Amino acid sequence: MEKLKYIIEDSTIAELLGVQSFTNKESAMLELVKNSYDAQAYELSITFKDNEIIIKDNGNGMNSDDIKKNWMHVGKSEKDYEIIDKKNNKRVLAGSKGIGRFALSRLGSNVQIYSQKNDDIKSILWYTDWNESTLAENDLIDSSGTKIIIKKLRDKWKKLDAYMLAEYLSRTCNDELMKIQIIFENKPIPVKKYFKEPELGINCTSIIKLEYVSKEEKLICTMISDEFKEEANKYCEDTDLKNNITNVNIFDELEDYNDIELTGDELKTILKMLGDFSAEFYFSLKTPASKDVEKFLYKNSILSERYDSGIILYRNSFSISSFDGTKDWIGLGKRSRLSPAAATHPTGAWRVRENQLAGKVEIDKKINYMLTDLANRQGLDENTFYKVFVKILDIGLSEFERYRQKIIRKINKKNNVDTQKDKKVIDKVIKDPEIVKDLSKDELNKFILEVKEYKKENSEYKKEISSTEERYKYDVRILNVLATSGLKATSIAHEMHNDRNSISQNCDYIIDAMKEYEIWDLVNEEEKTRYAFSNIPELIKKNRRVNAKMITFMNTMLSEVEKSQFYSEKYNILDLLDEIKKVWERDYAWIEINLDIPSSILYEIPKDVLKVIFDNLILNSIQQNENSNHMSVYIQANLNNNLLEFLYKDNGKGLSKKYINYPMKILEVHETSRKQGHGLGMWIVNNTIVMSGGEIKRIDGTYGFAIQFTVGGKI
């Protein structure tokens, strides 16, 4: 038996693994920088001169054997995980696949490599035009190291390109063990580590540190902020404006995550195998308006050295090429488009924008081995491990977003307080314009100031209107979807309404007919009911249950769109809640609703407000406890400071683990613990309560589910 090996032409290898594998010239240059780093170089220069590139380092160099056994062996790498270099520093080696050398082909079609290994008495010269390669001994070069001369360049390198390369390497190199310098037209361009020592107030206003501990399936989220003035503390007495730490159980968060179809055991395995990693994000507003600085008590509106390079993914000392900060690989844009609410929005979830965040995520070649490079090392295989990895980062960002939005909402309350100043002079003039000529000098000056204040307030009011319109566009988008679905369902319910009698009585008619034809006893015989698919009495029984649900659906859809529901009238609150109770207990026999409401409470409110709130709360209780045989709901109501105050409780299983420590999170749009859930029910409850002038005071999901809230209206 003869063993065969593939024979591949040199030019084909160079084309496939070099020219076609690298997305741009900068990423090819990065591979050569990595080679010098792995060779323990401490200095590296990249010189652009006379239509050629000269890359020179003072690393270990290569001899003839290295060229023959390693350099010319495609796919072979002698590199370990890490080394201790000559200066006793640890270096995790960047190379592993033995194909980075073909980056030379991407840069030019003619390459000469001069290299001398340590104290060898001869250096070598390797030459290729990618059709054939030669190796020869050469005179000694200055010292050990490697010098590469690339000619017949495939790209034109201008001064701007050299500066862009310096910027690219600044972002993609994550340590300073090797000094890199670019020389263009005899002028040096230094390459400095981009994220060196971030400073609040200079590079950003908040730092978000994430640390994933795979053994505990835990994400530690640390927020350090210097965004707000000291004055903001008086509006946020229960919140630390400078530091916040939360621990998130990632298994609880992802157990019901729809985008990853995994069993609990599979998810646990992935979370363990993923390995520890860390991230550090730098948040700042790009150019906050001066009115916003005053409105939200921002400390520093202009950052002298603001970070704005995006999110970079580092594997030890170097970034993965296509994750250099130019690609939105975490999906910040998609997140903000799905939830475009402003931070002041009372119910919507604010999401950080792409232009507000920079930062780095750090993984390890060995620890995070399941995050695998593509063959050309230009990206990562977007497998299940990668999806879980990105989702964990998303969860960490959400913790920061909730923290900051909580602060902004509290500060914004001061802007909603009526701060009308005493305008006695202007009030007098409005009543009697003739008195203007009799005003004293002081009164006249005060009158002028009051007019200017009115103009300013009018301008601010117009801006506030615009801001409010933008804020509610977000709500309207979601509600339009729900309304469209509801209208479709209502249309179908109208069409079916004429068939209501047939739907409710058909099962009885079928049984009566079978008895008349004397076949009812026959189909009830044990032999005929052995199999479910041919058990006629059981099939009729199931059909009766389905028909009952269809009638309930029709009644619900046709009653809830009546115009009278939306008009504000004075209602007896006990009667109103009793109506809701009777409908739910009629449709769900296993639900018991207990009302603790004084019969004396009369309150002016649109009927739909309470229906929307309690229908969603009861539906939520039913869906969360659908396997229960009996469930009890308790609703208490009282009048408190002209507001209706409600307490709603059920005896179900309570909230999912991921919400126990921060139950208010269930109010965010699309937030759900059910795989088929839409995450809109509790958002609608909160939105309705806030729009009525009330607020949610407390949520508890430890033993059953409980929520305390107020609703606004008129006594």
Section 285-289 average pLDDT: 84
In which element (H, E) is residue 45 found? strand 43-49
Pairing type for strands 133-138 and 145-153 reads unpaired
Q: Does this chain's domain 10-190 share its CATH topology with 564-715?
A: yes
pLDDT range class, residue 76, cuts 50, 70, 90: low
Section 225-246 average pLDDT: 93
Count of residues in the chain: 715
The mean-pLDDT minimum among 90-99, 170-179, 508-517 falls in: 90-99
CATH number of 10-190: 3.30.565.10
For domain 564-715, give the CATH superfamily.
Histidine kinase-like ATPase, C-terminal domain (3.30.565.10)
Taking the model in full, what pTM does it have?
0.75
Q: Could you tell me which residue, 86 or 54, shows the higher pLDDT?
A: 54
Q: Could you tell me which residue, 561 or 630, shows the higher pLDDT?
A: 630
Question: Which segments within 565-681 are labelled E, that is strand?
Answer: 568-572, 591-596, 602-606, 631-640, 643-650
Q: What is the phi-psi region of residue 407: left when phi exceeds 0, alpha when psi lies from -120 to 50, beta otherwise?
A: alpha
Q: Is the pLDDT of residue 603 over 70?
A: yes
DSSP symbol at 192:
-
Mean model confidence pLDDT for the chain: 83
For the chain, the structural domain boundaries read 10-190, 206-415, 424-497, 564-715
Tokens standing for residue 330: 């975490």
The confidence score (pLDDT) of residue 420 equals: 47
Total Cβ atoms within 10 A of residue 638: 14
Q: What is the phi-psi region of residue 175: left when phi exceeds 0, alpha when psi lies from -120 to 50, beta otherwise?
A: beta
In which element (H, E) is residue 149 found? strand 145-153
Section 79-95 average pLDDT: 84
Q: Residue for token digits 């490079």?
A: 373
Angle at which helices 441-497 and 424-431 cross, to 10°: 80
Buried/exposed 252-285: b ≥16 CB within 10 Å, e otherwise: bbbbebeeeebeeeebeebbeebbebebbbbbbb
Section 46-64 average pLDDT: 91
Q: Is the pLDDT of residue 554 over 80?
A: no
DSSP symbol at 204:
B
The mean-pLDDT minimum among 88-102, 130-144, 456-470, 659-673 falls in: 456-470
Q: Is the pLDDT of residue 396 over 50?
A: yes
Q: What is the phi-psi region of residue 641: left when phi exceeds 0, alpha when psi lies from -120 to 50, beta otherwise?
A: left
Question: What secondary structure does DSSP assign to 92-126, as a single string?
Answer: E----SS-GGGHHHHHEEEEEEEEE-TT-S-EEEE
Q: Is the pLDDT of residue 666 over 70?
A: yes
Give the integer Cα–Cα distance in Å for 144 and 397: 47
pLDDT range class, residue 421, cuts 50, 70, 90: very low
Burial class (CB in 10 A: 0-12, 13-18, 19+), 495: exposed
Give the integer Cα–Cα distance in Å for 397 and 399: 5
* Phi and psi, residue 87, nearest 5°: -100, 20
